[in-house]
Amino acid sequence: MVTLLDRYGVPLKSDLQLADKYEKIKKMVIELAVQTQALTKKDIASWRQAWQMAIDVENPRRKPLYDIYRDIEIDNHLSGIIEQLTGAVMARSFKIIDKRTKKEVPELTETFEAEWFKNIVKIILDTRYWGHSLVQFGDLIVTPFGKRFENVEIIPREHVIPEYGVILKNIWDDKNAGINYREGKIAQWVIEISYHHYPLGIYLKIAPQAISKKNMLAFWDQFGEIFGMPIRIAKTNTTDPKERTKLEKMLTEMGSAAWGLFQDGTEIDIKESSRGDAYNVYDKRIDRANTEMSKAILTVTMTTDDGSSRSQSEVHQDMLNLLIEKEADRVKDIINNKLIHKLIDFGFPFEPQHQFEWDYAMDYTPEQQVAIENLLLNHFDIDEKYFIEKYNVPIRGRLNQTQLGFFGQAPHGSGASDW
């Protein structure tokens, strides 16, 4: 049985009630006059112009800049290094604890084992690159296993002016015609996420490198078309258009390489640049763009590129681990300072003393776990319930020293089979 409730716990029994409940809130995304995303060729001049529009004090508009961001985020190297960082954070285990007792509250931890929560974590991490995200909660669903949101979604970023806290139905509307999302009923259904270090996101400083790389790849393709395949040249004395058409068709059907049809006696001289081969001209610039983007995202390069030594690579890995910790801490702060307060308002069984924490104990390698448990067993009297709950094994009691045998291993026939 699934029940859809309003914010005050009253069941919604009809489409009319649902429409009345959400009013303009649920229609907000649907009614936005979403503009066609410009997938045109970008250059440094368009990036500078878009940047200027985004920081305009009186009339800030981010759409041209976000068009550039969407254009560059499909870069394979860029998406790869972002996924490396995002995946490292999202793969972590977590728990909800009671700050008074310092103990986990398993039923609340289970509340976050849901797709909508993982989507919010992903949005928080992505905000580092875009600078700002306004997230809208979907329908609140109640099941026998507890409450959850049907989904969460980003309100199209180009329709949001965070400097004034408004949403525009049309991105070119005056800011005074926007909906204030920080006040009133709409504020209950959205959560605002900002990246204060870079209000326009890290993509702003990555864009010049990504644009240059994309253009270099295009130039290299053009070079390959011209110089990478032989050119077929046909010479003829005929001036008959029909005969020339036949020759042109023949040359076209011979393959994809370039061809030319010239009057007999015509000289063709194709010269390649003498300032170096294409590899040094194009590939080196592409490689430099990749390393610059790696530095901007990860602050290091050797976690994605070949390092010159093992020691240097280990230093870079340590720096990456620090960045992962920093991003994980940012996610934790937003969940504790914003999301949990929202959930309390929605009637989730959270209380102010509940706190989100990363569960580092769940992320130890098997070798680290064995070392830690041996250390604890050698120095402390551990309650056997710990092992029963963790490994789900029926422990009947402790073995004595005679039963343990050499190196702590129980000899055959000693009764160790009772374990």
98 and 55 together in one domain:
yes
Q: Are 149 and 137 in contact (CB under 8 A)?
A: yes
- Domain count across the chain: 3
Residues 392 and 258 in one domain: no
pLDDT at 312: 64
Question: What's the pLDDT score for residue 306?
Answer: 54
DSSP letters, 287-300, are HHHHHHHHHHHHS-
Say yes or no: 198 and 240 in one domain.
Answer: no
* One domain for residues 169 and 29: yes
Any domain includes 291:
no
The answer as to whether 245 is a domain residue is yes
Residue 349 and residue 372 share a domain = no
Task: Note whether 123 and 237 are same-domain residues.
Answer: no
pLDDT the model gives residue 197: 86
How far is 326 from 339, CA to CA, in rounded Å?
Answer: 19
What pLDDT is recorded for position 40?
A: 47
In a domain, 387, yes or no: yes
**What is the reported pLDDT for 221?**
80
Same domain membership, residue 236 and residue 165: no
Quote the domain boundaries for residue 236. Answer: 232-269
Residue 405, domain member (yes or no): yes
d(CA 376, CA 384): 12
pLDDT at 263: 56
Find where tokens 């790389």 sit: 213
pLDDT in tens, 383-419: 777 777 666 677 777 666 555 554 445 444 444 444 3
Residues of the chain with pLDDT under 50: 1, 6-8, 13-19, 21-22, 24-30, 35-36, 38-40, 266, 268, 275, 406-408, 410-419
Same domain, 254 and 142: no
Round to the nearest angstrom and report the end-to-end CA distance of the chain.
Answer: 43
The verdict on residue 293 lying in a domain is no
- pLDDT at residue 365 in the model: 65
> Cα separation of 124 and 135, whole Å?
10
Residues 30 and 116 in one domain: yes
Report the pLDDT value the prediction gives residue 308, as an integer from 0 to 100. Answer: 53
pLDDT confidence of residue 142: 87
Dihedrals phi, psi of 388, to nearest 5 degrees: -65, -45
Residues 3-43 pLDDT 10s: 555 444 555 544 444 445 445 444 444 455 554 454 445 68
DSSP string of 145-206, one letter each residue = TEEEES-EEE--GGGEETTTTEE-SSTTS-GGGSEETTSTGGGGGEEEEE-TT-TT-THHHH
163 in the same domain as 102 = yes
Residue 216 lies in a domain: no
Q: Indicate whether 310 belongs to any domain.
A: no
Q: Look at residue 347 and tell me if it is in a domain.
A: yes
